[in-house]
Amino acid sequence: MFTKSEESIEIKYQEGLRQSNENARSDEAKEDIMKFYNEHQDICDRALKYYQEYEEYKSNYVKEPKRITSDEFCKIINPNTILLLTANPIERGILLRWLSEKHGAPLDTYIVKSFSYNLFHIDNKISIIHTSPGKTGDDQTRKLINKTCELFTPNCICSIGICYGFNRKNIL
């Protein structure tokens, strides 16, 4: 006969509580996002159109990625680096299109190990680099940041976008 130990039951109970808390935060995030959209529908619709145009004409905004080694990449960038981070394809497309337009040319893109880096600005004082995880989610983002910090140490990491729908009421 199979019996569960008290420790096993406690572990399952704690996991259930954790999942319940995540679902509650997720519902609050959805409500915040829907409220924002309803209050700013025109801006959101224009942003989506801007992203769709990026997808359609992507080669106008980012160059074909070049695969290089970690050492080669670190020789290209300045040690003083600002890392721009987006979490989903729409945020990534909107930011890369905007950066490319400000840059005046398609952005150089490098694949280092399994991550992609878009170079916006490099001079003798600073580098500004964009990256984004392959999939949306905090585990993917955490992995990307950890691997990037093994490659080089950014002076600043800026997360751009909805930040997983963080509930501002709980932060401020």
Does residue 105 lie within any of the structural domains? Answer: yes
Does residue 4 lie within any of the structural domains? Answer: no
Of the candidates 85, 91, 94, the residue with the CA atom closest to the CA atom of residue 54: 94
Does residue 35 lie within any of the structural domains? Answer: no
Query: In total, how many domains does the chain have?
Result: 1
Does residue 3 lie within any of the structural domains? Answer: no
- State the first-to-last Cα distance of the chain, in angstroms, to the nearest integer: 52
Does residue 124 lie within any of the structural domains? Answer: yes
Q: State the average pLDDT over residues 97-114.
A: 95
The pLDDT of residue 64:
96
Question: DSSP letters along 129-142, please?
Answer: EEE--SS-SHHHHH
pLDDT exceeds cutoff 60 at 153: yes
Does residue 33 lie within any of the structural domains? Answer: no
pTM of the model: 0.73
pLDDT exceeds cutoff 50 at 145: yes
Give the confidence band of 140 by pLDDT, cuts at 50, 70, 90: confident
Does residue 31 lie within any of the structural domains? Answer: no
Cα–Cα distance, 16 to 20 (Å, whole number): 6
Does residue 107 lie within any of the structural domains? Answer: yes
**Mean per-residue pLDDT over the chain, rounded:** 83
Domain of residue 80 covers 40-163
The pLDDT of residue 163:
52
Cα–Cα distance, 93 to 141 (Å, whole number): 17
Q: What is the DSSP letter of 46?
A: H
